[in-house]
Every structure is written in C-alpha cells, then in structure tokens.
Amino acid sequence: MKESIQSLSPGIWEDYELIDTGGFEKLERFGKFILSRPEPQAIWDKSLPDSDWRKLAHAHFAKEKSNPEKGQWEQLQPMPHNWQIGYTNPEGLKMSLSLALTSFKHIGLFPEQAVNWDYIYQTVKRSPVKNPKVLNLFAYTGAASVAAKAAGADVTHLDSVKQVVTWSKHNMEASGLDGIRWMVDDAMKFIKRESRRGNKYQGIILDPPAYGRGPEGEKWILEEQINEMLKVCAEIMDPKDHFLLLNMYSLSFSSLIAANLIRTNFGKVENAEHGELYLEDRYEKKLPLGVFFRFSSF
C-alpha cells in the first residue's frame, strides 16, 4: 500500500492558539493565559512588535546563558503557577490536562501532538481486539496515554522521570479515567525485558527526546539508539493486529529518516503515513515541530 506523505496540524482548539512566531520565540495561548517561550526553529521575523508581545504575555521564559534549555519565568501579568485546559474532538475524546511553569520552558503539553491524540483515539476505537494493549514509551505527562485509555485500551505508560508520571496520573484522574499502568523505567531496558518474556502489544507509541537519561542515569541519544529500539518494538508488536506511532523532534531529522527506520525494522506496513507536524500562527506562518510515522493493520 502506498505511503501517505503529509503535514499535519491540529484544527480549531478552543483552549489553545499559536498567536505569533519569530525571532526564535513563540507566543501561545493556553486557556486564559498567554506565554512567550524560546523556539529554535522560528528563525524568521515576528509579525507583531516586541511591545505587543510584552503586553499580551502573562509570562515570558528567559533562558540561562550557560544552558539554553533551562531558565526562569518572568511573570508579566497575574497568573497561577498551575492551571488546567481541556481538549475535545468530534469523535468523543474529552481530556482535562494540567499545565505548569517549569524551569525547562516546557509546561506539560506539546499542542502539535493533538493530531496524534486523535489518531490514537480513532485507531483504538476501531481495533478488532477488545481492550487492545497499548505501550506508550517516553510518555511524558501522558496525553497520549489518556487518549488511548479513553478509547478503551489497556495502557502501559512509561517514563524515566517519576514527577512526570505523577503529573500523568493527575491528567488521567482529571479526565475521569482510571486503570493506566504506570512504569518509571528506562525505555530500552523495559522493552528488552518484554521481548524476553514474550509479551505482545497491539499498539506502541514512541515520542523519544533527542537526548535523555533513564532513572539510573542510562544515556539516550536519539540517532544512536532509535534503530535498535524499533528493532525490539518489532519483536513485541502483535504480528496480526497492531498500530505504531513514532514522533521525533530533532532539527536534523526528516520524515524520510523515520520512513527508512520503519521499513528496515518492520518491512512492508499497511496504512502508512509520514510527514511533518506543525502549528500555524495567526499570520499563516507554519512552525515545524517534528516528524511522525504511523501505521496500522486495521
């Protein structure tokens, strides 16, 4: 079956909007609050003047000179440190997601992933297997896990950071769900154990970082280890009824790399789609935010 190559962006989302991009920054609204954050891919000019960004933003993230991934939030207007937003889609998915201002510029949500939450929900819903087993690796704060659970999946959620697993539990409970299996573990070690045990999953979700550490300091480097990880994922995937969703955010990666990785480790797959994820601001500038590959046998 021919692969579909495309770019995907979330549709209208009441609680989220990308307002403007440029000057290596992005201006976003999450619910009632507007944030200004660094964005290395926004190399063009802003559409709004800096003075308007300062007027609109409730908080601005200022990077540390020694570590561009760390810094401090400068509060420009009153707002809480923690708050919630909702996400719904026409198919019936409803989630409540907790956000917070962290020292790593992240707030507990990657909004471009909304198209993948929809995909997960729809794919689990049409699965021929009742309560399909879904494994979410590098699962962060768990929106994808909640989407799979809401559709009826038996979900195993794995991340190496205990605090974000706790955050994920709050998202599950706030969304009126329960029963997700929580794992604080190194992703590679876990899937190799699952392979030795002969365990199989109908769904596998991977959203690995470019760099990371396991709970015991295990090193993760995307380009060095993703091929091996997908090789093991092929061993634990149900050979008959399955889906896989791979996201990668690396400035040097194209979706063709993802396609080659899938082809070499899974062979010919059905209903394959790959391309770019992006968000579009008010001024029709498209901000690329990673590549994806997804396929399903049903």
Asked if 288 and 277 count as a contact pair (C-beta separation under 8 A), the reply is: yes
Give bridge partners of residue 277 from the DSSP assignment: 8
Of the given ranges (12-26, 80-94, 228-242, 245-259), which has the lowest mean pLDDT?
Answer: 245-259
Q: Which residue has the tokens 């000179």?
A: 65
Report if residue 152 sits inside a domain.
yes
- The whole-angstrom separation of Cα 255 and Cα 232 is 21
Residue 79: what are its φ and ψ, rounded to 5°?
-165, 155
Domain that holds residue 114: 4-9+106-296
What's the predicted TM-score (pTM) here?
Answer: 0.95
Write out pLDDT tens, residues 57-114.
999 999 887 776 678 999 999 999 999 999 999 999 999 999 999 988 899 999 999 9
Exposure of 153 in the CB half-sphere (CA atoms within 13 A): 33
Report if residue 147 sits inside a domain.
yes
Report if residue 89 sits inside a domain.
no
% of the chain surpassing 90 pLDDT: 85
Identity of residue 295: F
Rg over alpha carbons for the chain, rounded to the nearest Å, is 19
User: What is the CA angle 147-253-264, rounded to 5?
Assistant: 80
Looking at residue 284, which CATH number applies to its domain? 3.40.50.150
